[in-house]
């Protein structure tokens, strides 16, 4: 019986790790082709953003890229036209680190994460399955507020839940964990909130989200997690960057977990009248 149990756990481990590959711990240098494509996409994106700045004065945009794995088999809601883009950031034209620097959260290893400020080329160097950026143009007043929140008040770090509170499929409805897109949600919450309710950290921004029109306009992505994967997580086996204990018993029983996706952000902002346009830039 013991041998059978061990064999089953090994099987679970193999399935879970294969399904959740890319925990952020593994690093490999980009190939020459990957560098070339990232440079081309970054340059093409910068030209377009500069064109928009000259036409409309845009200084902040929502930007998203694909991940290293396709979400086709995982995402069940497929929220919005940009549902295949799995990682979002905010690009600031006037950031002190450089023109059109992207502020975003990255999983560094297992449950750890940090806030990064990167250029357009570096944003596309994480081996995406497609070299394409989704751009969301924001209402001018929202751009002003985001510049205030990030550049003037320097709240990008306080909006981070914590170095060891990352989960790739974190629940949108509590303060336990945070994924990359949920981090952008907290920045948006800090910018959308009226001055008298100004959130100063991630917890306050999440509370505002849950009690405001943001929540009413929000559509979660639903992620499928298989039975063997759920068993693996229950016994401590599997990818360290995905945790399930912040979700409801119903979600864990059905293997369908709600989360913030990049698509959720575009759809929410559009419903609130804060997204003026959106499009793709591809090689």
CA–CA dist 160, 166 (Å, integer): 10
In this predicted structure, the answer to whether residue 237 has a pLDDT above a threshold of 80 is no
Is the distance from CB of 205 to CB of 61 less than 8 angstroms? no
Q: What is the DSSP pairing of strand 275-282 with strand 132-138?
A: antiparallel
pLDDT tens across 37-93, in order?
Answer: 999 999 999 999 999 999 999 999 999 999 988 899 899 999 999 999 999 999 999
pTM of the entire predicted model: 0.89
Q: For the segment 81-128, what is each residue's pLDDT rounded down to a tens digit?
A: 999 999 999 999 999 999 999 999 999 998 999 999 999 999 999 999
By residue count, the chain amounts to 283
pLDDT on residue 139: 98
Q: Please name the residues in contact with 269: beta carbons below 8 A apart, sequence gap of 6 or more.
A: 62, 136, 138, 142, 188, 217, 275
pLDDT for 18: 32
10-35 core/surface letters (b: 16 or more CB in 10 A; e: else):
eebbebbbebbeebbeeeeeeeeebe
The encoded tokens of residue 143 equal 């751009």
Q: How confident is the model at residue 20 (pLDDT cuts 50, 70, 90)?
A: very low
Reported confidence tier of residue 228, pLDDT bands at 50, 70, 90: low
């Amino acid at each position: 019986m013991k041998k059978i149990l061990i064999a089953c756990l090994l099987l679970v481990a193999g399935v879970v790790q294969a399904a959740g590959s890319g925990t952020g711990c593994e690093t490999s240098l980009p190939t020459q082709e990957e560098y070339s494509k990232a440079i081309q996409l970054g340059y093409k994106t910068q030209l377009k953003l500069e064109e928009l700045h000259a036409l409309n004065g845009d200084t902040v945009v929502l930007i998203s890229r694909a991940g290293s794995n396709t979400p086709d088999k995982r995402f069940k809601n497929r929220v919005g036209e940009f549902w295949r883009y799995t990682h979002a950031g905010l690009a600031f034209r006037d950031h002190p680190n450089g023109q059109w620097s992207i502020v975003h959260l990255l999983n560094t290893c297992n449950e750890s994460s940090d806030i990064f400020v990167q250029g357009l080329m570096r944003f596309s160097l994480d081996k995406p399955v497609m070299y394409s950026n989704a751009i969301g143009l924001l209402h001018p007043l929202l751009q002003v507020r985001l510049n205030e929140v990030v550049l003037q008040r320097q709240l990008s770090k306080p909006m981070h839940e914590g170095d060891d509170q990352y989960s790739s499929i974190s629940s949108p409805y509590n303060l336990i964990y945070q994924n990359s897109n949920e981090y952008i949600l907290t920045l948006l919450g800090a910018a959308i909130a009226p001055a008298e309710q100004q959130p100063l950290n991630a917890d306050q921004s999440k509370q505002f989200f849950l009690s405001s029109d943001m929540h009413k306009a929000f559509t979660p992505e639903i992620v499928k997690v298989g039975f063997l994967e759920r068993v693996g997580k229950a016994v401590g086996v599997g990818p360290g960057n995905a945790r399930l204990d912040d979700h409801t018993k119903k979600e864990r029983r059905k293997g369908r977990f709600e989360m913030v996706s990049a698509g959720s952000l575009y759809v929410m902002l559009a419903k609130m009248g804060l997204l003026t346009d959106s499009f793709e830039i591809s090689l």
